[in-house]
Amino acid sequence: GAVVSQHPSWVICKSGTSVKIECRSLDFQATTMFWYRQFPKQSLMLMATSNEGSKATYEQGVEKDKFLINHASLTLSTLTVTSAHPEDSSFYICSARKSGNTIYFGEGSWLTVV
Amino acid sequence: KQEVTQIPAALSVPEGENLVLNCSFTDSAIYNLQWFRQDPGKGLTSLLLIQSSQREQTSGRLNASLDKSSGRSTLYIAASQPGDSATYLCAVDLTGGGNKLTFGTGTQLKVEL
């Protein structure tokens, strides 16, 4: 079956540094990927839609200069959290749309900023 | 703005019990509704997807119903097992294609031996 992989699964970084999270579709091409964040005991909130070969579409309230999204190929989207702060600590999950409307989610990435 | 609410927030039941999880949404103009399972610290697994034109979907011990006009969906789990312990999320899709999934806050289910 289709698999979406995220890397790293967990990462700890210092305040002020940047960290990159990768989302890969392993056995299908995904022209569109989605990035969500989830705070403890809260639901998933859509951050942005990543479109291959074009700029990402950000949801209201999400800083595009802080959360850089690059979708350089049909199987890879990256989310870079720039100048990370402790309040950016969260669980980040990506999803990818296969042909048609089937959505597959990654395993998620835990980010802790210290 | 679409709001999705799930009740109860947490549920603990003995093994073998049948149970119902509830999901309500404020905007009935949806394309579909999905139920997901999330294990602690993990991603999401899609369980059932109901198109707006459908009333229910079944997969094994799971049955999901949709009443779009009243903004409600239920997930029925028959003969619950400890392996069913997880957080269950419902999500509505307003635009189709999974572009704008709005998630509920989830129901944390624990099935005890």
Chain centroid, CA B90 distance in Å? 4
As a whole number of angstroms, the distance between CA B76 and CA A35 comes to 29
Note whether B105 contacts A: Cβ–Cβ < 8 A: yes
Average pLDDT rounded to a whole number, residues B21-25: 97
* Interval B42-87: pLDDT, tens: 888 989 999 999 999 999 999 999 999 999 999 999 999 999 999 9
From chain A residues 40-69, the ones with a CB under 8 A of any chain B CB are 41-46, 49
As a whole number of angstroms, the distance between CA B60 and CA A27 comes to 26
pLDDT at A2 over 70: no
What six digits make up the tokens of A32? 């569109």
Q: Name every chain B residue with its beta carbon within 8 A of the beta carbon of A4.
A: 43
* Interval B95-108: pLDDT, tens: 776 667 899 989 99
Percent of chain A at pLDDT > 70 equals 96
Whether the Cβ atoms of residue B26 and residue B71 lie closer than 8 Å to each other: yes
Note whether B99 contacts A: Cβ–Cβ < 8 A: yes
* Cα B54 to Cα B48, B51, B58, B74, B103, distances in angstroms: 12, 5, 11, 13, 20
As a whole number of angstroms, the distance between CA B95 and CA B8 comes to 27
Q: Name every chain A residue with its beta carbon within 8 A of the beta carbon of B105.
A: 41-43
CA B17, B21, B22 angle in degrees (round to 5)?
A: 150
Residue whose C-alpha is closest to residue B20's, from B50, B65, B58: B65
Whether the Cβ atoms of residue A11 and residue A79 lie closer than 8 Å to each other: no
